Structure 1
Amino acid sequence: MIVALLNQKGGVGKTTIALHLAGRWSREGKRVIVIDADPQGSALDWSAQRARETAPRLFGVVGLARDTLHREAPDLARSADHVIIDGPPRVAGLLRSALLAADLVLIPAQPSPFDGWASAEMLRLLEEARVFRPGLAARFLLNRCAARTVIARETADGLVEHDPPVLASRIGQRVAFADAARSGRLVDELAPDSLAAREIAALAAEVEAVAT
């Protein structure tokens, strides 16, 4: 399975979600590779920090920020159970290539009208990719949700009948994610019983269910 986290808007949490999904699946015994397709290289930076901290290697992170991704990702997928693409913002050629490579596209978005407007171009590219990949599945993921806010509820309600639909799982706005990133760790390593870790576990299970 190749899962691509894509949104043309930056700062929506693509890298955080990609790394935490990879960590969760690797701890379940799956072979996982993260493709850092963002020229900023945040996932590669996290991996380098983890190595400096001498933390055990959980999964591979490879840099592949080029528009031949759709030809190269399937080769990597043959040696892994799951490949996760951490996509770039605002690079249309790379986004198109990631869309053509993916089995499932996750579109992280914060519960904000601004994120909804910024996703419009992403949806246009998704429809373009479906000309070549009619069965390409996609889901919105509400990320960095403040608990019990009206805008989060309204955003989720507004996406109920949307195509693509929104996942039931949501990820909260939690300091634990930033704390983990600074040390090249994941939340379930630092606080395995935390709400953040439970949210990631629920998301990983739902994504697998959608993709199968």
Structure 2
Amino acid sequence: MKNRSFAIAALLAVVPATHAADQGAFISISAGQSRSQIDRDFAPNRIGRAFATLAGYRWAVNSRLSLGVEGGYAALGEANYHLVEPYSYTFYEGGTVSGVDRERIAYKAKAYLLGINSQWNVNDRWNLSAHYGWARYRTTLLVLGSSTFYDKKTQYDATSNDIRNGRYFGLGVGFKVAEYLNLSVTADRYKPTYRQIYGDTFSYGINVWGLRAEYLF
């Protein structure tokens, strides 16, 4: 009887610890490669660098599943276009003058994030994660140019900003390297918009593949 009572007491002591093993406050930092889905005619260079930082809290639903909330910031890289176009002009009276037109167009995006997240422990080491939420996107279309004519250089620039609400979501495969440290391979999807200079607004997708380090307090 004493042995049975001891076993039941030990089990009751272990279950709450297992149940709460993956709950608590967390902070994560991720970095990776972004790929903007903009038409190649507007931005042939569509691969950039992205990073994000999130903080939140997860509650254990059972020994394997935890659900929580998160908030943070993501810099989603840029897509760009570079133009270098030499030209020459011949006068009727004779003589030729030459010059060079240069232009750089860049699409930059960032977002403030607020959402929900989950983690499923496959076993003691491996886990799957997902998150989904609201994003406050801010995109900037930047145009920088210069023209050289008669050895005189003229420069110009223009900027168009767009702020809009949207959604984000992502998945991850993680490995627990320590009791409170988890490393994951992640894939995230964002959907910002950009506004052309004195023109219309267009939406485009950004896919981000990266690595995330998460510390659970």
Q: Normalising to structure 1: TM-score of the pair?
A: 0.21
More strand by share: 2
Larger Rg: 2
Larger RCO (alpha carbons 8 Å, 6+ apart): 1
Q: Normalising to structure 2: TM-score of the pair?
A: 0.21
